Amino acid sequence: MAAVITQGSTIECLHKGKVTPVSTAVADVLVVGDHPALAGTLVTSTISGCEQNKKQGDVQCAAVDTQNPGSATSTVLYVGDAPVLLGTASGTTTLGAPTNTWSVDSAGQDLLTAD
């Protein structure tokens, strides 16, 4: 079981840039301190503070591009028709080169977990 990620979670690119989620579930459906993130809701979320080395010609990560399917979403906990995202979520970012990945550093809560 993995923790459900929320607005209070720490989500970062590989180079410690912070992901700012663009969307989460509605508060009156499910509240665990913060609103849970749903499958697909991180796509297009911006990334700030990426520390990929610009001096070497690398390109900094700019936004979440994809969310990896499978273990990143719950198979049992849904809000509406969308599964919630879990602390195992990861994916790719736009622009980041040579590496362009993001992942959940901390779910920010351990009260609600799901498979």
| pLDDT for the residue numbered 61 | 92
Hey, what are 54's tokens? 């610009």
- Radius of gyration of the CA atoms of the chain, in A: 14
| Straight-line distance from the first to the last Cα atom of the chain, in angstroms, rounded to the nearest whole number | 5
Summarize pLDDT for 14-28 with one digit per residue, the tens: 999 998 876 654 333
pLDDT tens digit string along 75-90? 888 877 778 888 898 9
What pLDDT, in 10s, does the model give residues 53-70?
A: 777 778 899 999 988 876
Mean model confidence pLDDT for the chain: 79
Quick one: pLDDT at residue 35? 54
What is the separation of C-alpha 90 from the centre of its chain, rounded to a whole number of angstroms? 7
Contact predicate 5/108, CB 8 Å: yes
- pTM for the model: 0.79
User: How many degrees, rounded to 5, is the angle at CA 82 between CA 78 and CA 85?
Assistant: 75
The answer to whether 103 touches 110, Cβ cutoff 8 Å, is no
